Structure 1
């Protein structure tokens, strides 16, 4: 049957504003909102009590921060909203997020930002570019705070000569990270000779990890592997690893791109094997304790 009078115009929420009624939205950190009265658009950075009222602070895209009374008068994604304080659960999540943000990739507490520190005379040396890039990604913030420079070696075949050239002292210490430092290997014998160089032995710390290449210090599960594959001696380790992963592996450019992908899986110290973590921490401690800038 046709309704000759049409629908009831008074049915439903006919008094609702054109944009809809305001809904409660928790003022979570990072939430982008617009203040209707002033047109100020910004992300929530904090909520606090001030002058007997709750105030939400919004940071705009230029980094300027402005406070507004918490409550109605905001738009979230173009819809009216009443901003409410974060709940206890949200506060706990925000506190956890702030704690995580206050730590560096190595797990250390992040130091307050300040002017760059003058580099120490002491140095940490690593075998190659990939080692240096990995150390920088995980420990870079710590090293800058401490004023420690990481330098690359062109191999360790003449490590004893490198020690003599650097001529370390009590205030100019030398730390060296060596790949595949396993008893009975060529690397082991080279390190023994370098550690015996006089009169520098007390001012040199040479440590190493057991892996054929620093790639292996990345936890294999980050690449979807249960374990790093065993590559037969006499073959190109990196090229065979890339082939095992199903990645391009014919050229050096393929190797460089493969390492970039592996390094990209590293988010922090939890993604590295403890055999590398301990050794790098040991070197940083050695070159900074008792050393002057």
Structure 2
């Protein structure tokens, strides 16, 4: 009996018919010096390091200006316009990568380390942060860069009277002021304070903020074995609530200080911090070191 309907119209590669087939990614080891492009962001850079951070492998790419960013290994990259899926290097390639990392000698912030250089005499410009924990985190990740540039980080002990702090600092030419504010989100108390402060010497003052309740939250939760930072009821102090969630002592201020030291100890480099903090700190450093 003849088949009145002919062949099965769903057989074969029916999805690609009538349009160009989408190119498939080929696997490629992330070898040092290979120039790749991240499809999502358009970032183009050479491979300088591969490491495991937060339970996943990341590749560090350095652009032509010397800036370095980290991206998860896998698909989503282009090499010479062709899609590739980056994989961790093996054998000889791993040794070559290790040699490249040693030669580059990156700081915790991802910049190239300046060896045998004395700390520069402090310039007039400053970066201000809200408290001790913010200052310690900035020092751990960007300390080398700041010493090379001669930038001092000072503490504000809160931003309730930020306008007065700006006037006391007396910003001007050669004396720029960068301020990092916690929990700067639309409608918050901090957003209203910053809006007023930004009217004072705007050409010499830059106030930026991150969305986190506290700088603790800018540390990637995976570093502490969590998928995400927990939501703490408003009836409980946030830091004590975090310690309780983690099963840590939280009755005294000494407990809180010890908890922060434990969190800070998990931070090895910028790759352990959230992008929303990284971008703001880098922008403040650029601002106070450029006249």
For the superposition of Structure 1 and Structure 2, which TM-score range results when normalised by the shorter chain? 0.5 to 0.7
Aligned Cα root-mean-square deviation (Å): 1.5
CA–CA distance in 1 between the matches of 2:173 and 2:232? 42
Residues 98 and 234 (structure 1), Cα distance of their counterparts in 2 relative to 1, 3 Å cut: same
Structure 1 counterpart SS, 2:203 = helix
CA–CA distance in 1 between the matches of 2:108 and 2:282? 13
Per-residue deviation, 1:288 = 0.1
- Structure 2 residues not aligned, in runs of 5+: 1-90
CA–CA distance in 2 between the matches of 1:97 and 1:201? 40
Structure 2 counterpart SS, 1:221 = helix
Per-residue deviation, 1:175 = 0.2
TM-score, normalization by structure 2: 0.67
CA–CA distance in 2 between the matches of 1:177 and 1:111? 26
Partner of 2:96: 92
> Which residues in structure 2 correspond to 1:266-277 (within 5 Å)?
266-277=267-278
Q: Tell whether the 8 Å contact from 2:124 to 2:176 is kept in structure 1 after alignment.
A: yes
Per-residue deviation, 1:115 = 2.4
Per-residue deviation, 1:93 = 4.8
Per-residue deviation, 1:234 = 3.1
- The answer as to 2:284 corresponding to 1:280 is no
- The answer as to 2:89 corresponding to 1:111 is no
Deviation string, structure 1 residues 68-127 (Cα, Å, up to 9, x no partner)? xxxxxxxxxxxxxxxxxxx95675154134146x11000001113222211010000000
CA–CA distance in 2 between the matches of 1:137 and 1:263? 9
> Which residues in structure 2 correspond to 1:17-96 (within 5 Å)?
91-96=95-100
Question: What is the aligned residue count?
Answer: 201
CA–CA distance in 1 between the matches of 2:122 and 2:180? 19
- Structure 1 residues not aligned, in runs of 5+: 1-86
CA–CA distance in 1 between the matches of 2:108 and 2:93? 26
Partner of 2:290: 289
CA–CA distance in 2 between the matches of 1:277 and 1:151? 18
